Each structure stands twice: as C-alpha cells, then as structure tokens.
Chain A
Amino acid sequence: MAKIENSQLGDDDHLPSIEEICNTTWEPIYRFIYYKVQNREEAEDITQETYIKAMSHLQSGKVNPSKYIGFLKTVALNVLRDLWRKKKRRGTAVNIELINQMDDTAEDPAEMSAQRHLIENALSKLNKEQRTVIELRILKGYSVAETARLMNKKEVTIRVMQHRALQMLADILK
C-alpha cells in the first residue's frame, strides 16, 4: 500500500492542493474500490464520488496527511454503502447487516492473501471441467461462445456448468 509522507503533501504552512492529494492517493483508493465492485466502470465513478465528498475535509487541514488514505477509504466505504442501500431499496428488502465478506473493510495484505488462498483452495475442490469453465469465464475473461469452442461444448452447456460450479464454490466458501 502506498504510504503518504507529510513531505509529499506539504507541511503545516501549506495545505495540499487538489492535484497533490489526488496524484498521491488515487491508486490505493481505486484498488480498494475495485476490489469491492470488480469492474472498472463503477470503480472509476465511485473513486470520483469519494474524492468529491472527501476533498473539503482534506483541504481544511483537519486530517493529517499521513491519514489521508485511511480517511479516503472510510469515505469510499460510506459511498459504497449508500449505493448498496439505494440498490436494496430498488430491489428486495435485504437486511443491511448481512453484508457479505466482500463488503468488509479488510484490506490488510495478510488477510487478502489468506482470502486468495481460500478461494484457490475452493477452486481446487471443483472437478476439472468445472474448474476449467470458471478459469476461462472469470479468470481469463472469455465469452460463453469462446469458452464453448475451447471446451468443445454447446453454449447452453457452458452456462449450466458455470452455474453449478458457482453453486458448489458458494457452498465451499460458506
């Protein structure tokens, strides 16, 4: 994770500019948000929203520059939670407290590494075809048609296989 030093963002006599704050902090914040949403489009929008919400506080001088990234992550999480609440209002009534592990603030590299290990372990418990379909579709990003061609199966079969594989993974990861 990028560590922001006071010297990068000015001293007590010089409050950092918008450029200085964005240039030195955007990458860890974007990565943090991407981890939650897993797509670039939403990650870009939410990163932007986060900085818009946070900037007046950061520029007020009340937040220590060494705490900028922590502060921005908290704001990002609030933006994400607002978004999730809005989606829930449009959809079914789900208890907001039942936010899954993706929604936690866990950002510790050790925890992330443990989670990665957990997922890889779960994948290894699938049969070969199921693992292949998940690897091709999600990890390598192939379309259903491409995956069907590579696995010499019909598209409908690929959809069924990936559905079952994900059900199994969900059970393993519970």
Chain B
Amino acid sequence: MENNERKVSDFIDRLNKEQQPDEDEYSTESDELKELYQTVKLVKSVKDPTMPGPDFQKKLISSVKSEASRKRPQNKRKWAFFISIASAAAIIALIVNVMLPFGNSNIVNVMADAFEEVEAYHGTLEIVEMNANGKSTTQVKLEVWADKNGHYYIKNLEGSNKGLVTVNNGEKKWQVHPHQKQVHIFPSTPDGYRFNFELGNEINNVTNALATNVIGEDTIAGRKATILEVTPKGGEPYQIWIDNETKLPLQKQTAMHNAIQYKITYTEIAFNNTIPGKLMDYQLPKGFEEIDKNSEQVVTDINEVQEAVGFTPKTPRRLPAGYVQDRLVVVPSRDVAKIYYKGEKGKRIVVSQGESNGEFKPAANAILGKIDNNTAEIQSPVQDFVGMLGGGDPYAEGTNVNSIRWQQDGFEFAVVGNTPLEELVLLTEGLTDGEFKMPTVDEQEFSPQVEVPYDLTKEKNDQKSVDAGSSPWKLDPVFVAQVFVSLKISPDGIIGDYPISMDELEVIKNTGDEAIIAVSGDKTSIKKVYLKRLVRQDITGIWTVVGYDPA
C-alpha cells in the first residue's frame, strides 16, 4: 500500500512537470494503480492543456519534412508497383523501361529504386587520369566491398599504396599499412573518407543535382550503359554511365580541370547479401604495430563518463526519427565525452562535449546561427575542424558531413553527422532546451552606407576560375573582406603583410549567401564590410564585396 501511495505521488509529480510518467495505467500490473492513474488524469483534464514551446510548430514541420524525404524512395517504389497493377498502359511502360534505355525523366528514380534493393556489393574499381592530349594513366585499382549501412572494405590492388587495406565496420575504422607493418585505428564516425564512387553517395549526388540529361549510349566492361550528364549544384557538369541491366552507376568521368580529368570505373561488380564477416572483423596481423589515432575509450554509462572526464554530459531530450544511441565514449586526453547515435542506412550523429577553452571563434566560412543568445557555428558540409570538431579523424572536403558547434554554460558542444542539417538541428534543440535560430539578415540590417559596384560577368568568370582551383581565398568571406579593406588602405597594391590582420576582422552575420564582417582597430575608417555570394549560393560560391560602412 505504502508503495502504491508513493507511486501515485510520483505519477502526479511527473504530470505536474509535464513529463511522461515512468509508469501509467497501461503499463502498471496493479489494478488499483490503474484506476488511480486514470483518476489523476481525469482530474487534471479539468485544467487547460499546457501548450508546447514557441518553436514547436517549427520542430514539427522540420521532423515531418525530414521523415518525408527519408521515405520518398520507398513511396516511389510502392507507387510504381501500384501503377503497374492498376493500369495496363503503365505495365507496358514498365516493360519498355526494363527492356530499353531509360527516359530522361525517370532515370534518377529508377536508379534510386534499384539501389534500394541492394544490400551489399563487391567489385573492382579503377581510377584513370586523363590529360587534355588524351593520354591516360591508371592511378589506382581497388577491391571494394560495401554495404548500404556504410560499412566497407577497400584493398588497394595497384598504385602507390598497393596493399593498403581500409575498413570501417561501423564500430571501428582501421587501415592496414603492410609496408610499415602498422595498423592505424580511427573513429568509425563521422567518416569523411569513404571512397570514390561509392554507389549510395553517387546516387544521392545525382538525386540532388540541378539537372540531369541522357546524352548517349556506350558499352563499359562488356555491359550496355546509358550516359547521363549531371549538373551538380556546385561545380562543372560531369558524366555518369548507368548499367542498362542493373540500373546502377558503372562509371563516372569528372569535368576537366587544369587539363586533367578522371574516369572512375567498376570494371567488375556483383551484388551480395552482406560483406564477408572475416573482412569486417578487426584482428591485428602478426608482427604489426597498432597505432591508435582514435584514443577513444568506450564506457558503459553516464557515471563512467563523469568519472573519466569530470562532468556529466548532457543528453538530448529527443532524437530525430529512426535514431538510437549507439555508444558512449570518452577521449581522456582532451576531457571530451562523445555520444554516438545511429540511424538507418549508415547514418550517424556524434555529440561531442567538453569544458570550453577560451573564446568561441567560429570557422571563417561557417553560417552563424543562434542557440539562445550564443553563436552557433553551422558548417554544411564541414570544412574547418576547429574547436570541438578537431582532434579526431580528418574529414574529407566536400563530403556529406555537416556540423553545428556552440558554447553554452561553460561547455563547448559539437553535433556532427553524415545526415541532413535538419536532423542535426532537431538533435541540437533536444540537447539544449534552447531556441535554435537559423540565420536571417533583414534588409534593414544588410544595407551598406556605401555601395560597391560589381560586374556580374566578371564575377561569373572569377567563379569559373575558382571552380578550376584558382584563388580559393575568394571562397572565404573574411579573406575577401581583408583584401578589400587592405586595398582601400593601400590602393596601389599590397606589399608584404596585409595592413589589416585577420584578428581585426570578425564575422557578425553569415547566412550562407550574405555576410557582414566587422572591422576593428584604427587603421581604416571602414567599420563594416558587406558581402554576397552573387553567382552560386552554396559552399562552392565565391564572395563579392557589395558595400561597406565608414565610421
């Protein structure tokens, strides 16, 4: 009885705190408690409901959208099936689709649907470099095993790293260097390396492209294929060959940059149910030295984290749909705690946290949001590995790894994952209980006192040069502002160091397509520089100064 009194009291306390009770009328084994829990709810129902926080609508829309985009390929497949049984005309269309090369409109969907059926694949990948004179050189040949959960085994069969084996089994990533007799260990997540021409990534890139056009037919490694020209959101168009039988990519040819282009081909490919277990099991070969670059230590619960790093890590109140906690780790050398979450199809999110060391300095090219009143650095994708993002495995540029980083209450947090930014935002909101604001610049705020004229044709040409690898500094708004202010100070040109240093420039707004840089110090009368991405509004777009404020 006394126990029931306490349980009822706890139940009331949970409802008063607007939290889910540990036990309710559906989970209790006691008939008496069932009746009392129901009565408490009935009494409480006399009150008006407690409404959700002001950002609930935003969160709701974001999570529904995220789920809708996650389900889209399956729906399409169901839809295609539906049509096939509902309409004879559609059956014929489907047969034509299987027998003949694809039409322009459905090729991307067909490819995505075909990949849905693939569990794992095994093939030989050849990367060939070609110059403008038509000379070809085989750079590398790889044996590839990969599955749709993001696990892979890659062995270099030919090339400068012959014999090198790279494996990520979802828990651990390692590289076997046969010549040095060493095995290097890395965190499995986030894994920016992946490998070139991973089918899932490739299909995602095509799905997200600005435009796709069928431009011809060809035979690759004895297989008939359709050639598709893909215009990505950033960069020059490239070509991809799609196997007419499997409907999956077989070959890719990059655009020519600086008289060099690459052709990446699956000279052999077969589809399997799984990657053989022996390839995924970690074993240190005899006579090899293990070099742990990971330095992460798995712990069993939050108490162990507390003991190892001296603080109790915050855990998110809710997770994006489909995610579960995978493991807890600590990095004792940096007093950092990390919580790994895993979602479907190889999606991973890592939450890192540790006491903040000094002032928060966001990466120069990051978009700046707000969490409560704190600046949130948003990188989509991650390019600069500063603060809590550093100290781990290097992430490759241009991968699908996104991040949000901020400081709050004396701690620095980073939420990183190979997932859409919306999912990271959801988790961040669940973690902070604070309001997350994506950046916006209103017209009043973005109104320079002095406008700087520009020539859009020249900017487009500059963009092409940057796409080809020249003047990468134009991708950094702080650098562009530094050059602009320096040339105002020294109109005849800059000799030696810039008259204005990076320390005197601070990004105060960056929405991804508009930025405002504040200038401090007394070397110039310019106090603010206004920039825009005029040609392309993504991370590959160059920044142009469009105005400034004098003192």
Contacts and interface: CB of A to CB of B under 8 A. Distances in A.
Interface of A: 18-19, 22-23, 26-27, 30-31, 34-35, 37-45, 47-48, 51-52, 55-56, 59, 83-84, 87-88, 90-92, 94, 100-102, 115-116, 119-120, 123, 134, 137-139, 141-144, 159-160, 162-163, 166-167, 169-170, 173
B397 interface: no
A26 to B, nearest CB: 6
B56 interface: yes
A141 B43 CA distance: 12
Given A41-B19, A170-B35, A170-B36, A162 B9 contact: yes
A40 B50 contact: yes
Contact of A163 (B8, B61, B318): B8
B43 A169 contact: yes
B6 interface: yes
A91 B29 CA distance: 6
A39 B18 contact: yes
The SS class assigned to the B binding surface is helix
Contact of B63 (A52, A91, A123, A144): A52
B55 to A, nearest CB: 11
Contacts of A27: 51
Given A91-B27, A137-B12, A52 B45 contact: no
B78 to A, nearest CB: 10
A143 B13 contact: yes
B57 interface: yes
Given A91-B29, A163-B36, A38 B60 contact: no
A39 B8 contact: no
The SS class assigned to the A binding surface is helix
B71 interface: yes
12 contacts: A18-B68, A22-B61, A26-B56, A30-B52, A35-B49, A40-B51, A87-B24, A87-B27, A94-B34, A119-B42, A169-B43, A173-B42
Contact of A116 (B20, B38, B40, B46): B46
Contacts of B39: 166, 169-170, 173
Q: Which 4 A-B pairs have the closest CB atoms?
A: A40-B18, A87-B26, A34-B49, A92-B29
B64 A48 contact: yes
A42 B21 CA distance: 9
Contacts of A48: 59-60, 63-64
Nearest to A52: B67
B41 A159 contact: no
Given A56-B75, A87-B26, A170-B36, A41 B20 contact: yes
Contacts of A137: 12, 16
A109 B356 CA distance: 53
B456 interface: no
Given A41-B19, A92-B28, A123-B43, 10 more contacts: A35-B49, A38-B40, A39-B14, A41-B317, A59-B68, A84-B26, A90-B27, A139-B44, A141-B16, A163-B8
